[in-house]
Structure 1
């Protein structure tokens, strides 16, 4: 587009008025009735052209103002629609989370009916930062019958898993020592090969447990992925609770027993609800 055309577009109203004036003058000058120039007619023509121009300018200004008002109204409606959409999305997320929580609670309830011991359901409410986050705090305490030494279990991925044991109790909360803590020791047994050993936590993190004192002749029988369960010996943990799966077998020539690396069954990063078992001890 040329510069002249752009200028004409920007000044469309002025160009239109000027064109009308020129056309009117030509019609007056070359009237078929007479070639005599009449000042009155010229004045009336100019006045009529001016009135038409003013009317059109006024109409254009009115249309522009109405368009601006309509645009503002649409912007307000768009803002309101966006706020409502955000509210609906928030409600949808809350609904999904509520459904997931209800499904999880139903699963835990179904699991609790299968336990042979009296159990106290509890929710994980925190971890102890003073102990490198290795202890777990639950929302039940002595007011609900909790005592030191009571075992804690959870139901995850279709299996009953050992979480740890209660080590401190207050009126409305309790502290649990998890099985991955180095101070934790559990009398354990390989579920299939039936060899006994002692499982304790590792300083290397939550994903590591060590099973020691497994007889060396078990080397050819122990399978990778084999389940490790509590043996019930020692009286702290009931028999048959899942602890983890064998991930590595170490047989050192200078040692009389095997050492197994065990991966915990419980995903402690997803721990929300647990059961404290009252075994009557």
Structure 2
């Protein structure tokens, strides 16, 4: 019996479908096989490479940790060194402060330096001195606590006159000593009350540490051992600050020379370490 065209067409469609399915199954089979083979290769590669990868990762982590530790150790070492230096500086300042306190107590004990709370009195340390013998005689001062010193302030060693501030800036100052050739102080001699002026040493004199008492009356009754104090003439210094004692009297009545005297200062200018700075108007 002759097949109808519709039946033949349907059969060809079925055959084509079966062919496509077969080809698909074949491709899937080969692909699965390839994938299974690849999986075995991958497993073998992983078996070899995974421990190596873990080792490399571990070494990298160890290296990073070690480098970080070395950097931290270096920073700690630098910090320790900085702290050590700061501690050494602090210890040095403490020792210096203790030494200065001991020195100050010795000065108080030996020369009557009493702690002062007066706003017009400033304790100061001598930190420098001019070198010349008959040149300028000055000292450099630093005040305790940085208290301000002023030009014309009076400088004492204990209760004895040392000189006067010639320049100042805050807690630092330079003072002219009585030993300076240009120094001059209005003075009174006790007990005679004779008046004169105490000047710096005579450059041509035999003793550069003796002051000159000049401008005395020719018949002024002064003698060796008399005490010399500041007077209030000129209102530069307060009255009554001890300067020194008469060491020698020269000239005067019955001689061609004017009366003068050599005065040994009470202040030990060779050993000035601490001084008191006082306002000119202070009593």
TM-score bracket, normalised by the shorter chain, equals 0.5 to 0.7
Indicate the residue corresponding to 2:140 in structure 1.
137
State the distance in 1 between where 2:211 and 2:157 align. 18
Q: CA-atom RMSD, angstroms? A: 3.2
Bigger Rg over Cα: 2
**Aligned residues of 2:124 and 2:142 also touching (Cα < 8 A):** yes
Whether 1:212 aligns to 2:214 is: yes
**Where does residue 256 of structure 2 map in the other structure?**
254
Cα distance in 2, alignment partners of residues 175 and 154 from structure 1:
15
The DSSP-based 3-state class of the residue aligned with 1:146 is coil
Q: Which 4+ residue blocks in structure 1 deviate beyond 4 angstroms?
A: 95-101, 105-110, 130-133
Q: Which residue of 2 aligns with 1:181?
A: 180
1:47-85 Cα distance to aligned partner (Å, 9 max, x none): xxxxxxxxxxxxxxxxxxxxxxxxxxxxxxxxxxxxxxx
Matches within 5 A, 1:87-236: 99=102, 101-105=104-108, 111-113=114-116, 118-129=120-131, 132=135, 134-140=137-143, 144-155=147-158, 160-202=159-201, 203=203, 204=205, 206-218=208-220, 221-236=221-236
| Distance verdict in 2 for CA 1:147–1:129, change over 3 Å | same
1:270 aligned residue:
271
| Shift in alpha-carbon separation, 1:128–1:100, aligned structure 2, 3 A | closer
Q: Take 2:209 and 2:161, find their aligned partners in 1: how far apart are those partners? A: 14
- Give 1:261 shift: 0.7
Q: Distance in 2 between matches of 1:135 and 1:207?
A: 14
Note the C-alpha offset of 1:117.
7.6
Is the contact between residue 104 and residue 274 of structure 2 (CA under 8 Å) also seen in structure 1? no
1:270, CA displacement in angstroms? Answer: 1.4
Structure 1 spans left out of the alignment, 5+ residues = 1-94
What's the secondary structure of 1:104's corresponding residue? Answer: helix
Between the aligned partners of 2:259 and 2:119, the Cα distance in structure 1 is 33
- CA displacement 1:249-275 (0-9 Å, x = unmatched): 1115234x4111111111111111111
Alignment of 1:73-92 (within 5 A): none
Residues paired across the two proteins, number: 179
Paired with 1:199 and 1:180, the residues of 2 have a C-alpha distance of: 10
1:102: Cα distance to partner?
2.6
Distance 1:124 1:96, change over 3 A: closer
Q: CA deviation at 1:231?
A: 0.7
Q: Is the 8 A contact 1:112 1:119 kept in 2?
A: no
Are the structure 2 counterparts of residues 278 and 226 from structure 1 closer, same or farther at C-alpha, using a change threshold of 3 Å?
same
Change (3 A) 1:224 1:119: same
Q: The residue matched to 1:186 in structure 2 has which SS?
A: strand
Task: Report if aligned partners of 1:127, 1:133 keep a CA contact under 8 Å in 2.
Answer: no
With over 3 angstroms needed to count, the CA separation of the structure-2 counterparts of 1:139 and 1:223, relative to structure 1, is same
